[in-house]
A and B are shown apart, each in its own frame.
Chain A
Amino acid sequence: MAAIFGSEIHRVKADVVVIGGGTAGLNTALAAAEMGADVLVVDKAHIQRSGAIAGGIDHFFAYLETGEPWDTRDAYLAYVSKVARGAANIKIHEKVFCDELVPAMERTERMGVSLHQPDGKILRTQALGQPGPYAINFDGKLLKPKMAFQIAKKHIRTINRVQVSNLFLHNGELAGLAGYDIRNGDFYEIQAKAVVISTGNTNRMFKSQTGNPFNLWYCPANTGDLHRAAFDAGVELANVEYVRMTIVPKGFSAPGFNAFFGMGGKFVNGLGQPFMNDYHPMGDKAPRNMMVWGALQEVRAGRGPIYVDVRHLSAKELAHLFSQLGIDKDTLPEFLKAKGYDREGALIEMSVSEPMQARPSELCGSGIKIDETCASNIPGIFAAGDASDQMGCLHMCMAGGYAAGKHAARYAAKVARLRPLKANELENERRRVFLPLMRNAGAAPGEFENIVRMITTDHFGPYKSEVSLTSAIAKLDALDRYRDELKANNLHELMRCHEAMNIHSVAKIVAHAALARKESRFIPYHYRSDYPETNEDWCGLVAVRKDGETSVATRFERLPYAA
């Protein structure tokens, strides 16, 4: 079996390769193609339905310059400075979001997805610490397939079901990448002048509420594959010390937070009491991390479970809320119905979700550290969307993805010729990739992943300290010997093996970054019990980079904000 897999080798060339065809990646590909670059999209799933919005999306954050004082670019940036302080780089935010916002909204409409309601009006709701209703509610059920249609219409080359396994450099600059087809085992050697990494965050890294690692808020296919590969290639990461969580329905980690609390739901504890005013002056419209913090404190104090109280909503409002929830998560309304919540007077039980390696706020990202041109520290490697340290959420992926495509295309146009890939490196990679298929015995990827999740959840999911993090790193390092013995029985399991290895590697990076930040910020996303206060000296980014074969180097980069 193993002798067959990998024997078919495809050698492909492109100016710009987009790795990950989710929202950010497809906008990147459209921009780069419009700039005249020869573009290739590589996706581990299929671009029709891959990434965070595979099944739909229901809100788009924007300021619309309507004349309201909170609805301007400056007011929006003041909001970003406040809510994402220490994580969002405002200069980058202006370039990748503000400068791109209007065209991104126009592009969304041109694709055939209206940001307007059927009556032609724009419906906006307020949550997440916003000074006004920035969340445009819309029906984005078909946004992903419509984006994929644009890719096909522009004849942009796409390779689906290929997991990228590593990036390769030549004299310190990008030369290309390798990957394999998870359905037929073909191996890909791809030369590129530039790559844009848009592969989301690292999910499946912590225990989930039902114990099933695929019952997650965000896409379980996003497993930090390119965080790990980029890190190994010398790319610097930032904002990865944060462990993101949200509030989800009990039993089903589905999105819906924005709709639940933006459309009038009240957060109450097991005594039926609203509690968020005890934790944040904005109450139920507080930033997400504070909602999670409040819920954790209530449960810890014995006042759980927590509920969304929708009893005061009219039947019409409730119907709108449920239909909106179904746009964001296709199967959520029937789940709520199966739980018996489709009756008057129901309290909907909620839970704090599983933690994940992701951005501490909707206004920044977590991952590959980018500059104002979406470039990383390695020439030729760019990042967009959730995979970058400065973008996240639909609005930034639509806007910033496009910015990344323009910059990558400009860069590629200046590169005279494709840099060479080394035959021995590719051969070693091909062997490494298919090795789990050749073993006669070894740990199953799911079993290995479970051990990683037990360690991460115990030691930094989310509470952490120097002792817990140091101990986690030692335990994760000790797991290396099991990682090197993983066994796959088929190609699907081979993909799961590589995902498990990547989750394990990113978990180590996250622990190292968290160890470096000696304060607490965006609690509980980075809550150090040994440094429980937020310290202005740490208002900035912890950047992490590979140091030698096994070590991790960190440095701090201060971020300035207007007073």
Chain B
Amino acid sequence: MTAVIDKGKCNGCELCALYCPLDVIHMEDGIAVIKYPDECWHCGACRQECAHDAVTFEFSPAMLAI
């Protein structure tokens, strides 16, 4: 379960990494990276803060299948 960042759309503004309540997103080489995907709460804060539509969400097989 996690947020997914489109590297092509991310402009490195850092807002998602700055605000993520679970410290899941970090900056690497000027691009936001989901460093701890298993710790995503799916709150959607990163997507709401992103001005470039770079964030989407994927639901884990367990979430969808059980």
Apart from A45-B20, A214-B41: 15 A-B pairs, beta carbons within 8 A: A45-B19, A48-B49, A49-B20, A54-B43, A141-B48, A161-B23, A210-B60, A215-B42, A220-B41, A252-B59, A330-B45, A330-B48, A331-B44, A335-B63, A492-B36
**Which parts of A314-345 form the interface with B (CB within 8 Å)?**
329-331, 334-335, 338-339
Alpha-carbon distance A338/B1, docked complex (angstroms):
13
Alpha-carbon distance A54/B57, docked complex (angstroms):
16
Q: Are A338 and B59 in contact (CB under 8 A)?
A: yes
Chain A's closest residue to B3 (CB) is A331
A221 interface hit (Cβ, 8 Å):
yes
Q: Are A46 and B63 in contact (CB under 8 A)?
A: no
Contacts of B36 in A (CB 8 A): 492
Known contacts A54-B43, A212-B60, A214-B39: does B66 contact A46 (CB below 8 Å)?
no
B51 interface hit (Cβ, 8 Å):
no
Q: How far is the CB of B33 from chain A (nearest CB, A)?
A: 13
Chain B's closest residue to A332 (CB) is B42
User: Contact mask A205-230 → B, CB, 8 Å, 1/0?
Assistant: 00001111011100111000000000
Contacts of B64 in A (CB 8 A): 251, 338-339
Q: Are B60 and A45 in contact (CB under 8 A)?
A: no
User: How many of chain B's residues touch chain A, expressed as a range?
Assistant: 20 to 34
Alpha-carbon distance A252/B23, docked complex (angstroms):
20
Q: Are A220 and B1 in contact (CB under 8 A)?
A: no
Contacts of B22 in A (CB 8 A): 45, 214, 220-221
Contacts of A221 in B (CB 8 A): 21-22, 41
**Which parts of B13-34 form the interface with A (CB within 8 Å)?**
18-23
- What 3 A-B pairs come out closest when comparing CB atoms? A330-B44, A55-B43, A49-B45
A459 interface hit (Cβ, 8 Å):
no
Contacts of A45 in B (CB 8 A): 19-23
Contacts of A254 in B (CB 8 A): 42
B38 interface hit (Cβ, 8 Å):
yes
A127 interface hit (Cβ, 8 Å):
no
B50 interface hit (Cβ, 8 Å):
no
A129 interface hit (Cβ, 8 Å):
no
Q: How far is the CB of A125 from chain B (nearest CB, A)?
A: 23
Contacts of B23 in A (CB 8 A): 45, 161, 182-183, 492, 495
Alpha-carbon distance A334/B66, docked complex (angstroms):
17
Q: How far is the CB of A163 from chain B (nearest CB, A)?
A: 10
Chain B's closest residue to A252 (CB) is B63
Alpha-carbon distance A500/B1, docked complex (angstroms):
21
Query: Can you list 19 A-B contacts with CB-CB less than 8 angstroms, sorted by A residue number?
Result: A45-B20, A45-B23, A46-B18, A48-B18, A48-B49, A54-B43, A55-B45, A141-B48, A182-B23, A212-B62, A214-B40, A219-B41, A221-B21, A221-B41, A251-B59, A251-B66, A330-B47, A331-B43, A338-B64
Of A48, A211, A252, A339, the residue contacting B42 (CB under 8 A) is A252
Contacts of B21 in A (CB 8 A): 45-46, 49-51, 54, 219, 221
A504 interface hit (Cβ, 8 Å):
no
Alpha-carbon distance A221/B19, docked complex (angstroms):
13
Q: Are A55 and B48 in contact (CB under 8 A)?
A: yes
Q: Are A211 and B48 in contact (CB under 8 A)?
A: no
Of A56, A211, A330, the residue contacting B62 (CB under 8 A) is A211
Alpha-carbon distance A215/B60, docked complex (angstroms):
10
Contacts of A526 in B (CB 8 A): none
Alpha-carbon distance A161/B59, docked complex (angstroms):
27
Contacts of A216 in B (CB 8 A): 41
User: Contact mask A260-291 → B, CB, 8 Å, 1/0?
Assistant: 00000000000000000000000000000000
Contacts of A182 in B (CB 8 A): 23
Q: Are B66 and A210 in contact (CB under 8 A)?
A: yes
Chain A's closest residue to B66 (CB) is A251
Q: Are B1 and A49 in contact (CB under 8 A)?
A: no
Q: Are A212 and B38 in contact (CB under 8 A)?
A: yes
Q: Are B57 and A334 in contact (CB under 8 A)?
A: yes
Alpha-carbon distance A210/B20, docked complex (angstroms):
22
Q: How far is the CB of B45 from chain A (nearest CB, A)?
A: 4
Interface core residue of B1, B42, B48, B66 (most chain A CB under 10 Å)? B42
Alpha-carbon distance A215/B61, docked complex (angstroms):
13
Q: Are A48 and B60 in contact (CB under 8 A)?
A: no
Q: How far is the CB of B12 from chain A (nearest CB, A)?
A: 17
Known contacts A45-B23, A492-B23: does B66 contact A214 (CB below 8 Å)?
no
Of A48, A214, A495, the residue contacting B38 (CB under 8 A) is A214
Alpha-carbon distance A182/B66, docked complex (angstroms):
35
Q: How far is the CB of A516 from chain B (nearest CB, A)?
A: 33
Chain A's closest residue to B19 (CB) is A49
Contacts of A141 in B (CB 8 A): 48
Of B48, B49, B59, the residue contacting A335 (CB under 8 A) is B59
Q: How far is the CB of B10 from chain A (nearest CB, A)?
A: 18
Q: How far is the CB of A499 from chain B (nearest CB, A)?
A: 11
Known contacts A46-B18, A334-B57, A492-B23: does B44 contact A215 (CB below 8 Å)?
no
Contacts of A495 in B (CB 8 A): 23
Alpha-carbon distance A329/B63, docked complex (angstroms):
15
Q: How far is the CB of A173 from chain B (nearest CB, A)?
A: 33
Q: Are B66 and A250 in contact (CB under 8 A)?
A: yes
Alpha-carbon distance A495/B57, docked complex (angstroms):
25
